[in-house]
Chain A
Amino acid sequence: MLDLSLLRATDDTMAKTDHALDLAAFRTRLENEGGPRLWRSLDELSEDENFREYLYDEFPRQAGLMEEDGVDRRSFMKLMGASFALAGLASCSPPVERIVPYVNQPENLVLGVPMFFATAMPLGGYATGLLVESHEGHPTKVEGNPDHPASLGATNAFHQASVLGLYDPDRSSTIRKMGEVSTWPVFLTELQQHLENMPSGEGLRLLTGSITSPSTGQLLVDLRAKFPASRRHQFEPTAGDNRREGSRLAFGTYADTVYRFDQADLIFSIGSDFLHTGPGHIRYARDFASKRRVSGGARTMNRLYAIESIYTPTGAMADHRLPVRASQMEGFARAVAAAVGSGGAASGTPLTAAQSDWIHALAADLQAHRGTSIVVAGDEEPASVHALAHALNSALGNIGRTVMIVEPAEIEPVNQLESLRSLVTDMNAGRVQTLLIIGENPVFDAPADFNFAAALQKVPFRAHLGLYYDETAAVCQWHVPETHYLESWGDARAFDGTVAIIQPLIAPLYGGHPASELIGAISGDARSAHDIVQDFWKARMPAIGFGDEWSRILRAGVVPNTASAARGGAAAQVPAPPPQARNESGLELILRADPTIQGGRFANNGWLQELPKPMTKLTWDNVAHVSPATAAQLGVKNEDEVTLTLNGTTVVAPIWVTPGTADDTVAVDFGYGRRRAGRVGTGIGFDAYVLRNSTGMWWAPGLQVSKNGRAYRLATTQRQNTMEERRPVRSATLTEFLAKPDFAHTEADLAGQYPNLYPEYKYDEQRWAMSIDTSVCTGCGGCVIACQAENNIAVVGKDQVIRERVMQWIRIDRYYAGDPANPTVYSQPVPCMHCEKAPCEPVCPVEATTHSEDGINEMTYNRCIGTRYCLNNCPYKVRRFNFYKYSDYTTESLKFQRNPDVTVRSRGVMEKCSYCVQRIRTARKRADREDRKIVDGEVITACAAACPTEAIVFGDLNDPRSRVKALKESPLNYALLAELNTQPRTTYLATVRNPNPQIKTAGPTETA
């Protein structure tokens, strides 16, 4: 009777499945299961007829390839007749290619051997150090810089996808004045003419994002010296104003907080997604994981408590998680503070008995971990919560041990919302003569009540510097294309203050200018970005030997000894701020930056659009999330269109029932609904910024929701490639694990030796294998994009995702367990298993998929004739078929992004994870040339290299000292679908969680 499934919806099925959610039925079903039950979506849990049909249909929606075009067989033959005839002629003789050598070949360049350069990617102002792979001068792939504190060798999806952003054909390519092509000198002349009328700079304003670049900071100082009355405003849609103001409430001035998760045994997160967002999140995830791994023989683990309003990847890692409404977060945090005894009266928020128990258990745990705990507040929580977190850390003696209070890394930190507000006020009052908007898009992402676009048009001279000719550029008279970070010189600080030098990998593709050159140009400084950076550091280093030192810095990517200084005296008692009254009744709206395209910055990046969002597995759209209970209350189900009304402003959004969302809450992601993003991002999703006001940047009360009776199709990979319920993830608590270390093994696994008809392979060289630790996988998706960049994987688009044709070689299955109101979440990355007895191999009629001498399940594209038998026979559903020519063969700029070591696949060809065979073969040839063995760690697959928590480990099982070998011997090691006797090379380490035995009731501690 239940159906949330509109994936297969036609008018017909929709009519008959219009039912509300029945929570009681879910619960009954769960109770009757007798033991934990894993589910991937609510309709799977409901065991709905349609879902079963969907599941057993081997290729849903794949039967009629031509259905969308409405072309029948006859017209197809007619249309293709000429092509068939020509095909015979064209295939006779191969075309003659050209070889175009250099005139002067750069020194040290060996054609065909990639070079790596250290640089850094700034995001929200903060840098992450990278090593970028360059093939004959064009960057193709980024890796983390192991020497950079924010990376330690790992990267996230945004870093990985930035190479696609570089080659984006929709980037702005010319300077424009009123939409007409112009030039840099003309722009400078006009700018200077304007500035002549304002000698003191009265009326000259800059609008930038957060800047941590020391050299740009110097330019701003120079600018102020020349134009003392000029002002710089700052605004970013995801600005950490609450974090900044919270530090001011606690310490009197702005300060940054650096956490030492590698020193913490207990973490309490108040709405913080510290493992997945924020300047230091990659490092934090690595440190957090280091205290969470028991596969190496450790007998203790850290413990994470989280309260949050929507499910985040950090919440998914928590041992105890509670969904709490946004309005109650402060009250809840206050109650914890009161229970710990760090001062601050408990708020008036009424707590349930279960919540009360939870808080007391947490408080006792915190008391027991003085100096080894961390309380961390999310950027979305109000400043008072941040101050409370500081107060708690101070009371617990954490400051100076696990929580470092340091000088801010930003240049001129301000409250960015107030900074923008004063700019808008001045623009409306006619006090702004010249406005330069640098790298930001406020017309799209400024708070709606500021009415930024209207105010902007009152400025006589307005110019925009940006990567795209976007919404803001269209309102400005001048637009200057900005250089991508891979094209420009610069410097930026990391979360802990360490400076990294940004060095270009390629000359600007579209002749842009970096922000530093524009800021310099205002005060008449015509230096190039390179000189700006180099001069700045030259002045701060010994003159003798600077050249060598500079080379060393560029090579390492990091300027040594530049981490922010610790604040003295910060460990003093920090007072808790007074409580604020909040309206806690009615529906609340929660606003969050989209997890894959941020606040719209990456809207035109196809990889990120198609990356399934960590918790919902949705692609290409944003939605309004509601909890199952709220959905039942509102009478809505997945893909229902609703009208959201807040203070008279309305927006139409599709509903997505996301288990674990706080009740009476509707959460929307902003960043979609771009009007000028490019051919990928324009016009998809809905613009949630219209609901975002300066009074409610992250949440707002008083939301009204009404159904409008229509349905909106969403593309989710949630139910695709289902392996059915065969204990895919296995978990236990730490206590259970210590009592029974091999809990993950079923009797079937332990029996081990099944009879087999196929002969055993012999491996006298390597035996490649992978181990994936589900205990530390946060499900962030960094590996998915890393794989996409490394292996030239195509983007297929929303329609094809709905048809289950997503091409990503590694998928991250997200399993729920337990109560739909607050389920436990497990993330499990699933690449090809490279089975020893691979079911795909014997069924291929043309031997396009075979077994290599080192145990790789090879896929030979040029042999494949597209029968798809292998896909049918793969129990793990990891094979991907090119139903169309998904790879873009025509866009010139995208060709430079491709990895030249990997074949670009055309239509009709099967593909799948190859264990990055190109990296293995390159390493093997290198080792063979040098007549030695491949050493452990020499071959790292793209996914393993990117993983922030080192959940993925790759290596040679024939090497007795390899890391992967040790992990495979862990009692936690288990294989997916072991009973099928496929003997997969990719195996998993079971999840171990560390719940507090004192907490019996709520929270995701159900083990699978």
Chain B
Amino acid sequence: MPQLFHRSANTLARVSILGVLLLALGAFGAMDLVNRSPYNTGVGVAREQPVPFSHQHHVSGLGIDCRYCHTGVEKSAFAGIPPTATCMNCHKQIWTNAELLAPVRNSYATGERLKWRRIHNVPNFVQFDHSIHINKGIGCVSCHGRVDQMPLMMKAEPMTMSWCLNCHRHPEKFVRPKSEVFNMAWKAPNQEQLGAQLVKQYHIRSRIRCSTCHY
């Protein structure tokens, strides 16, 4: 019986077994990359909105405090999206004829609600609460990035579970004095030392059990 396969077939077989393994690994790797990419997480992706609202202009340009619009942030799980009436507090007086603001004026006149596209979202099985983070000295900027430098709103962080846990495991790396929570530009001179002290002062616990967020 002559040999059906050439000697090199052995190598070929080994290589292809290895190849299939590598391919499978590669596929998983690629899926993971896609998962973590802005395509999935939405980091850095601006969405079309009824009005191209600029946080940059309102926050750093005019110096409006976050809580002027996001009124619930200290008391509620939901920070709150301002009603049209809040926009009109100022825009009754200024930019009253601006074409860009027509949807806002229209909403105020007709009672038709504005429909914003949601940027920051967690799945329904995650119970995130703004108020407890704000009250324990986690700054807006830690999760939302330099909102004051965003002409159009976009996500700055992936908001995946590992990202959440990063802080929940080591709150001292992110905590700041309560007075600086709404300050976008504030940077701790010595986070390591200050963080450890604030964790003690604010009675911050590292909450990493499932039912902290999932119920």
Interface residues of A (CB under 8 A from B): 92-94, 96-105, 110-113, 765, 850-853, 856, 858, 860-863, 901-904, 914, 917-918, 921, 925, 928-929, 931
B160 CB to closest chain A CB (Å) equals 12
CB closest residue in chain B, given A856: B211
Question: How far, in angstroms, from A904 to B123 measured CA to CA in the complex?
Answer: 12
Contacts of B107 in A (CB 8 A): 103
**Bound-complex Cα distance A178 to B57 (A):** 61
- Contact status B211-A98, CB under 8 Å: no
When A100-B113, A110-B76, A111-B78 are in contact, do A921 and B212 touch as well, CB less than 8 Å?
Answer: yes
Kindly state the separation between the CA atoms of A337 and B118 in the bound complex, as whole angstroms. 74
Indicate if B16 sits at the interface (CB-CB under 8 A).
Answer: no
Q: A101: which of B42, B83, B108, B129 is its contact (CB, 8 Å)?
A: B83
Q: B78 contacts which of A102, A112, A850, A914 (Cβ < 8 Å)?
A: A112
- Closest Cβ–Cβ distance, residue A92 to chain B (whole Å): 7
**Interchain residue pairs A-B with the least CB separation, the first 5:** A112-B78, A112-B76, A102-B83, A858-B211, A97-B118
Stretch at the interface among B58-66, B130-138, B163-171, B192-200: B130-138
**Residues A903 and B83 in contact in the complex (CB < 8 Å), given A103-B112, A110-B72:** no
Do most interface residues of chain B lie in helix, strand or loop, or is the interface mixed? loop
- Report which of A104, A112, A850, A929 forms a contact with B84, defined as CB distance below 8 A: A104
- In the assembly, what is the distance between CA of A98 and CA of B47, in Å? 11
Please indicate which of the listed interface residues A101, A853, A863, A929 has the most CB atoms of chain B within 10 Å of its own CB. Answer: A101
User: Interface readout for B117-147 with A: 1 if CB under 8 Å, 0 if not?
Assistant: 1100101110101011001100000000000
A921 touches B211 (CB 8 A): yes
Once the chains bind, are B214 and A111 in contact (CB under 8 Å)? no
**Beyond A96-B47, A101-B113, A105-B83, 16 extra complex contacts between A and B, CB < 8 Å:** A92-B39, A93-B39, A98-B115, A98-B118, A101-B80, A102-B113, A103-B83, A110-B80, A111-B80, A765-B205, A850-B209, A861-B214, A903-B215, A925-B132, A928-B203, A929-B132
Q: How far is the CB of B124 from chain A (nearest CB, A)?
A: 6
Q: Do A98 and B117 have beta carbons less than 8 Å apart?
A: yes
A914, B71: Cα distance in complex, Å: 31
**Does B85 make an interface contact (CB < 8 A)?**
yes
CB-based contact A92/B34 at 8 Å: yes
Interface residues of B in 46-100 (CB under 8 A from A): 47, 71-72, 75-78, 80-85
- Determine the residue in chain A with the shortest Cβ distance to B129: A925
Shortest distance from the beta carbon of A845 to any chain B beta carbon, whole Å: 15
Residues of A within 8 A of B115 (CB): 98-100
Question: In angstroms, how far is the closest chain B Cβ from the Cβ of A701?
Answer: 56
A863 touches B210 (CB 8 A): yes
> Shortest CB–CB separation between residue A848 and chain B, in angstroms?
8
What total of chain B residues lie within 8 Å of the partner, measured CB to CB?
46
Among B34, B108, B124, residue most surrounded by chain A Cβ atoms (within 10 Å): B124
Question: A93 contacts which chain B residues (CB < 8 A)?
Answer: 39-40
Does B2 make an interface contact (CB < 8 A)?
no
Contact pick for B214, options A97, A99, A104, A903, CB 8 Å: A903
Chain A, Cβ-Cβ closest to B110: A103
Task: Tell whether B116 is near chain A: CB-to-CB under 8 Å.
Answer: yes
B113 near A858 (CB under 8 angstroms)?
Answer: no
Asked if B111 is at the interface of the complex by the 8 Å CB criterion, the answer is yes
Give Cα distance in the complex from A617 to B82, angstroms.
50
Please tell me if the beta carbons of B112 and A925 are within 8 angstroms of each other in the complex: no
Chain B residues in 8 Å Cβ range of A925: 129, 131-132
CB < 8 Å neighbour of B108 from A98, A103, A856, A860:
A103
Q: A97-B121, A113-B72 are in contact. Are A92 and B210 (CB under 8 A)?
A: no
In the complex, B114 has a CB within 8 A of chain A: yes
Q: Is the CB of B211 within 8 A of A928?
A: no
- From A850, which residue of chain B is reached at the shortest CB distance? B210
A sample of 15 inter-chain contacts (CB < 8 A) reads A94-B40, A96-B118, A102-B85, A103-B84, A104-B85, A105-B85, A110-B80, A111-B78, A111-B80, A856-B211, A858-B209, A862-B123, A903-B125, A921-B212, A929-B131
Q: Which residue of A lies closest to B76 (CB)?
A: A112
Chain A residues near B113: list those with CB within 8 A.
Answer: 100-103
- Is the pair A101, B40 in contact by a Cβ cutoff of 8 Å? no
- Residue pair A928, B136 in contact (C-beta under 8 Å): yes
A residues less than 8 Å from B81 (CB atoms): 99, 101, 111
B114 and A111 form a contact (CB under 8 A): no
A931 (CB) vs chain B CBs: closest residue: B203
Given the known A-B contacts A98-B118, A99-B116, A862-B123, are A113 and B75 also in contact in the complex, defined by CB atoms under 8 Å?
Answer: yes
Q: Which residues of chain B have C-beta atoms less than 8 A from A101's C-beta? A: 80-84, 113-114, 116
Q: Which residues of B contact A97 (CB under 8 A)?
A: 117-118, 121
Cα-based distance from A757 to B19 in the complex (angstroms): 46
Contacts of B132 in A (CB 8 A): 925, 928-929
User: From residue B74, how far is it (CB to closest CB) to chain A in Å?
Assistant: 8
Query: How far apart are the CA atoms of A852 and B71 in the complex, in Å?
Result: 32
Q: How long is the Cα–Cα vector from A136 to B114 in the complex, in angstroms?
A: 17
User: Are B72 and A852 closer than 8 Å at their CB atoms?
Assistant: no
CB pair A921–B127 under 8 Å, yes or no, is yes
Task: Determine the residue in chain A with the shortest Cβ distance to B214.
Answer: A860
The answer for the CA separation of A929 and B74 in the assembled complex, in Å, is 9
- Residues on the A chain within 8 Å of B76, using CB: 110-113
Does A852 lie within 8 Å of B211, measured CB to CB?
A: yes
Choose from B77, B82, B85, B125 the contact partner of A861 (Cβ within 8 Å): B125
Instruction: Return chain A residues, CB-CB under 8 Å to B203.
Output: 928, 931
For B111, give its contact among A99, A103, A861, A917 (CB under 8 Å): A103
Q: How far is the CA of A958 from the CA of B94 in the complex (A)?
A: 58
In this complex, what residue of B is CB-closest to A849?
A: B210
Q: How far is the CB of B181 from chain A (nearest CB, A)?
A: 13
Q: Which residues of A contact B108 (CB under 8 A)?
A: 103
A852 in contact with B209 given A99-B116, A101-B116 (CB within 8 Å): yes
Are B85 and A103 touching (Cβ within 8 A)?
Answer: yes
Q: Which residue of A lies closest to B111 (CB)?
A: A103
- Contact in complex: A921, B215 (CB < 8 Å): yes
List B residues 160-202 near A (Cβ within 8 Å).
Answer: none
The residue of chain B having its C-beta at the shortest distance from the C-beta of A104 within the complex is: B85
Query: In the complex the two chains form, is A112's CB within 8 Å of B77's CB?
Result: yes
Question: Which residues in B have their C-beta under 8 angstroms from that of A100?
Answer: 113-116
Query: What chain B residues lie within 8 Å of A850 (beta carbons)?
Result: 209-210
Q: Which residues of A contact B131 (CB under 8 A)?
A: 925, 929
B34 touches A918 (CB 8 A): no
In angstroms, Cα B125 to Cα A94, docked, is 14
B40→A92 contact, CB < 8 A = yes
Give the chain A neighbours of B40 by CB distance below 8 A: 92-94
Please indicate the chain B residues that have their CB under 8 angstroms from the CB of A929 in the complex.
Answer: 131-132, 135
User: A862 vs B83: C-alpha distance in the bound complex, in angstroms?
Assistant: 33
Provide the bound-state CA to CA distance between A856 and B77, in Å.
Answer: 22
Q: Report the bound CA distance from A111 to B81 in whole Å.
A: 9
- Residues on B with C-beta less than 8 A from A98 are 115-118
Q: How far is the CB of B152 from chain A (nearest CB, A)?
A: 15
Q: Is the CB of A96 within 8 A of B215?
A: no
B113 to chain A minimum Cβ distance, whole angstroms, is 5
CA A91 to CA B173, docked complex, whole Å: 34
Smallest CB–CB gap between A406 and chain B, Å?
45
A903 to B126, CA, bound (A): 8
Nearest-neighbour CB distance to chain B for A919, whole angstroms, equals 10
A923 to chain B, nearest CB (A): 12
Q: In the complex, A123 Cα to B140 Cα: how many Å?
A: 50
A98 to B83, CA, bound (A): 14
Of all chain B residues, which has the CB nearest A105?
B83
Known: A98-B118, A918-B215, A929-B132. A901 touches B127 (CB 8 A): yes
The smallest C-beta distance from B169 to any residue of chain A, in angstroms, reads 14
A99 partner residues in chain B, CB cutoff 8 A: 81, 115-118
B47 nearest CB neighbor, chain A only: A96
Q: Shortest Cβ distance from B178 into chain A, in angstroms?
A: 11
- Inside 8 A of A902's CB, which chain B residues have their CB? 215
Nearest-neighbor residue (CB-CB) of B78 within chain A: A112
Give complex CA distance A856, B111 in Å: 46
In the complex, A860 Cα to B121 Cα: how many Å?
19
Q: Of A102, A914, A931, which one neighbours B211 at CB under 8 angstroms?
A: A914
Cα separation A817 to B191 with both chains bound (whole Å) = 67
Q: Note all chain B residues with C-beta closer than 8 A to A852.
A: 209-212
